[in-house]
Amino acid sequence: MPYYVTTPIYYVNAAPHLGHAYTSIAADILARHQRQRGEDVFFLTGTDEHGEPVAIAAEEQGVPPLELADRNSQRFRDLMPLLNVSNDYFIRTTDPEHIRRVQEVLVKVRENGYVYEGTYEGWYCPRCADFKTEAEIGPNNTCPIHEIPLIREREDNYFFELSAFQSQLEQLFDEPGRDFVMPRHRFNEARAFLAGGLQDVSLTRPKLRWGVEVPWDRSQVFYVWFDALLNYYTALGFARGKQQDLTKEFWPADVHLIGKDILKFHTIYWPAMLMAAGIEVPRHVFVHGFLLAPPEREGEEGKKMSKSRGNVIDPFAVIEDYGADALRFYLAREVQFGQDGPVSLEGFNTRYETELANDYGNLASRTVAMINRYRDGHLDPTDHDAEIAAELDGLADAVCAHLDRCDITPALEEIWKRIRRLNRYVEEQQPWQLAKDPDQAAQLDRVLATLHEGVRIVTVLMQPYLPASTEKLLGALGRTERDIAAARCSPAPVDVTTLEPLFPKR
Ligand code: MSP
């Protein structure tokens, strides 16, 4: 089965920060998990290079927009392998192949009768690149996301007849079992926006020159959001070169992962635009929350981490010190995926020490070391502890069910419960005592085989979260099968090797 997952494409007005790493890591966890299940995965990320956010930053820095885009796009591209993110393609919206396809689709929307000329008058946020509706305006005409004054705009442009899709969108949202938007509270938010009644939106902009030219009126460029949203569709047409069009195989996308700030564009504008062009809509949009800087004073709320506030953890620095696995783990574990939550270096260190180094790293080291010490590294299991086996039974299914809904935090918690259980099992059984008594040899065999199997199973399931460390550990355990079937009990004779600490203490 094909599985197509995307991240938002990131603005190249600044260098990547932790928020961008977050969505990319989450998408990578889903992509790797689906590959383990034997699905044919296509995972797309990239950069959004047109529009006002980029044009303004370029002007401030006194460089042409494309120069800024080239420089910063490369930084996003470089971040992916550092995070161990396994994207199949990296799209840039300045790619002529993308531009040509954007024009094609939007000409089709016009031919289908959903474009008309008009005058826009209202409030605009240049950082969101968004024309705000009355309900979206903060105190004193400010942007509630960026907390900057909105600009009063009046311009002649072409409109997209969004309002024509009111009832089709309602059907999409209300289709039983469809779950177009996840999680539920974000579904409700988007559904409420829809219930408020849709107004037509600007499709083009006359003033700004940094964008995709409108083929039927060269004095205009397409509004950056439509150019950007279309990346999910256009990329499939040229990611593998001219010879291979992946659209048939992978469209519609299974899930677009996005942050909550861009919900309206992905859950309302995007499906309507596709409907207008006669293209199938994506199956799901999953909306995650914001990573927040810890509150400055007690009782206050944390603020969104953002480059402009300067309250960010630098992903490059964390990876350099601890490696990508530790960062991936922390972000998936600390903040419930779908909710907002604070992150900090202190929090990161605590999770690293108590969970990665103590709970998991120690369990892995002890297991491998005891098999070496007491059984010369060789196990020939005849049976397992039935109680532990029962607790591992069904774990793979539970993880799959969570990840089918993009619930990466609860899936990890399921795995972690088993890691804690295995640690308790070591304490209960005290293999070092069993080893002293020759009458207990069979029990020691059973305990070591149970531990080996338990660690192996949780490690198979944790590969999408910790791709580098699990690779090492599976190697040391002498069983390297990676697919999801390997996460079920399957005793077999094994030879373990030695294992360096996976998460060295600091
Ligand atoms: N270019 C648009 C998206 C176009 S998609 C067709 C854009 N880019 S962005 O670079 O500003 O932000 C993209 C995404 O980065 C957000 O939607 C979110 O997924 C992620 N994050 C940026 N800051 C974040 C946090 N502080 N916390 C969590 N994620 C955040 O919007």
Query: Residue 147: inside a domain, yes or no?
Result: no
Query: Residue 353: inside a domain, yes or no?
Result: yes
Pocket of ligand 1 contains residue 225 by CB under 6 Å: no
Q: Which two tokens stand for residue 108?
A: 């089709």
pLDDT tens digits, 9-61: 999 998 899 999 999 999 999 999 999 999 999 999 999 999 988 998 999 99
pLDDT tens digits, 184-202: 999 999 999 999 999 999 9
* Nearest residue by C-alpha to atom 10 in ligand 1: 10
pLDDT tens digits, 345-358: 999 999 999 999 99
The pTM (predicted TM-score) of the whole model is 0.95
Tell me how far apart the alpha carbons of residues 125 and 146 are, in angstroms, rounded to a whole number.
8
Q: Give the per-residue pLDDT at 371.
A: 98
The answer, yes or no, to whether residue 366 has pLDDT greater than 90, is yes
Q: Residue 304 CA: which ligand 1 atom is closest?
A: 26
Q: Is the dihedral of CA 219, 221, 223, 226 positive or negative?
A: positive
Q: Which two tokens stand for residue 51?
A: 């529009």
Pocket of ligand 1 contains residue 291 by CB under 6 Å: yes
Query: Residue 19: inside a domain, yes or no?
Result: no
What is the tally of structural domains in the chain? 1
Q: Which residues are catalytic?
A: 17, 20, 125, 128, 143, 146, 304, 307
The answer, yes or no, to whether residue 310 has pLDDT greater than 80, is no
Q: Is the pLDDT higher at 95 or at 300?
A: 95
Tell me how far apart the alpha carbons of residues 146 and 340 are, in angstroms, rounded to a whole number.
17
Q: Give the per-residue pLDDT at 308.
A: 63
Pocket of ligand 1 contains residue 233 by CB under 6 Å: no
Residue 208 binned pLDDT confidence (cut-offs 50, 70, 90): low
Cα separations in angstroms, 383 against 11, 23, 380, 459, 495: 55, 42, 9, 20, 17
Pocket of ligand 1 contains residue 44 by CB under 6 Å: no
Q: How far is the CA of 14 from the centre of ligand 1 (A)?
A: 12
CATH code at position 360: 1.10.730.10
The answer, yes or no, to whether residue 109 has pLDDT greater than 70, is yes
- Name, in order, each residue with C-beta under 8 angstroms of 187's C-beta and a sequence gap of 6 or more: 173, 179, 180, 181
Nearest to 27 by CA among 420, 282, 476, 331: 331
Q: How far is the CA of 259 from the centre of ligand 1 (A)?
A: 6
Contact status, residue 503 vs residue 357, Cβ threshold 8 Å: yes
Query: Residue 34: inside a domain, yes or no?
Result: no
The answer, yes or no, to whether residue 309 has pLDDT greater than 90, is no
Q: How far is the CA of 132 from the centre of ligand 1 (A)?
A: 18
Q: Is the pLDDT higher at 92 or at 311?
A: 92
Query: Residue 7: inside a domain, yes or no?
Result: no
Q: Which two tokens stand for residue 342?
A: 């604070």
Nearest to 69 by CA among 6, 222, 77: 77
Tell me how far apart the alpha carbons of residues 24 and 16 are, in angstroms, rounded to a whole number.
11
* Nearest residue by C-alpha to atom 15 in ligand 1: 20
Pocket of ligand 1 contains residue 290 by CB under 6 Å: yes
Question: Domain range spanning residue 434?
Answer: 345-495
- Average pLDDT (244-271) is 97
Q: Residue 291 CA: which ligand 1 atom is closest?
A: 27
Tell me how far apart the alpha carbons of residues 481 and 166 are, in angstroms, rounded to a whole number.
49
Tell me how far apart the alpha carbons of residues 149 and 139 are, in angstroms, rounded to a whole number.
9
Query: Residue 472: inside a domain, yes or no?
Result: yes
Cβ of 447: how many Cβ atoms within 10 Å? Answer: 24
Q: How far is the CA of 85 from the centre of ligand 1 (A)?
A: 17
pLDDT tens digits, 420-456: 999 999 999 999 999 999 999 999 999 999 999 999 9
Q: Is the pLDDT higher at 311 or at 324?
A: 324
- What is the pLDDT of the chain when averaged over all its residues? 94
Query: Residue 380: inside a domain, yes or no?
Result: yes
Q: Residue 48 CA: which ligand 1 atom is closest?
A: 1
Q: What torsion do the CA atoms of 319, 325, 326, 329 make, to the nearest 10 degrees? A: 130
Pocket of ligand 1 contains residue 22 by CB under 6 Å: yes
Q: What torsion do the CA atoms of 334, 285, 252, 6 make, to the nearest 10 degrees? A: -40
* Nearest residue by C-alpha to atom 17 in ligand 1: 259
* Nearest residue by C-alpha to atom 6 in ligand 1: 229
Pocket of ligand 1 contains residue 125 by CB under 6 Å: no
Query: Residue 22: inside a domain, yes or no?
Result: no
